[in-house]
Every structure is written in C-alpha cells, then in structure tokens.
Amino acid sequence: MDGKTQQLVKSEIYQKSPAAETWLPIHTNFKKNTMRYIFETADGTVFLGLGHGLYKSTDKGENWRKVKHDGGVINMLESEGVLVATGTKGIMRSTDNGEHWQWVIREGGDGIAMYIPLF
C-alpha cells in the first residue's frame, strides 16, 4: 500500500507510512470478527482473511467486499496471476484476482504452510 506498513491489532487495521512515527487506525469495522491475515497483491488489491470468510478491497482499504463466505483464510500467496490461500476448510485458488474462489483440496488447512521459491 504505497510503502506503508499494516498491522492487525485486536480486529482493527493500523497503518504506518515510512516517515510517520505513530500507527493510525485505518479500518475498525471488523471488531466482532477474528482477523487472521492481510495480503496485498502486485496490483494493490488488498485481501483480509477473517475467521468466517475473505474480504477484498480495491481502494487501499477504504471499502471492503466479502468474496468468500465459507471458511476462514489463514495464509495467501500470489504467483503469476494466481492467488492461492489456505483456510480452515482446505486450500483454494483464484485466477481472476480474487473475484471467485475454487477449493482445490477440501481438508483442514490450518497447518499448511505455503511459500514461493525465490530462485
């Protein structure tokens, strides 16, 4: 998000720009939900994994839309335009920047780690 750093704290999103000394809340409407993960794609789309689904923002976190309703998202990565996420119900993927998700493996995904090799 333009060189800014985000942090999840008590179900709120805080942001700090490189020049700032303090963290400021940028989104606090998720108080009743368990935030598990925040991820920004190469094109600036931001995803927020909660205990009950996945939200997407295309305007740097100003507005959020729920794009996945079943199961929480725990981890996400992007490779060559494909998004892959682990969740409470398994592993899912999206080939359209997170608009639609397909379960690839429908087993508990809580303990699955993902990484992209750098070489």
* Pair of tokens at residue 68: 């996945």
At 14 the pLDDT is 66
pLDDT surpasses 60 at 24: yes
Kindly give, in sequence order, each residue whose CB lies less than 8 Å from that of residue 35, ignoring residues fewer than 6 positions away.
Answer: 8, 11, 13, 48, 49, 50, 51
To the nearest whole number, what is the mean pLDDT of the chain? 75
State the pLDDT at residue 110: 55
pTM: 0.71
pLDDT for the residue 89: 80
Alpha-carbon separation of residue 29 from 3, 13, 87 (angstroms): 23, 9, 22
Q: What is the pLDDT of residue 106?
A: 79
List, for residues 35-93, the tens digit of each pLDDT value: 677 888 888 898 888 777 888 989 877 788 889 887 778 888 899 889 998 877 888 89
**Backbone phi, then psi, for 66, in 5-degree steps?**
-75, 125
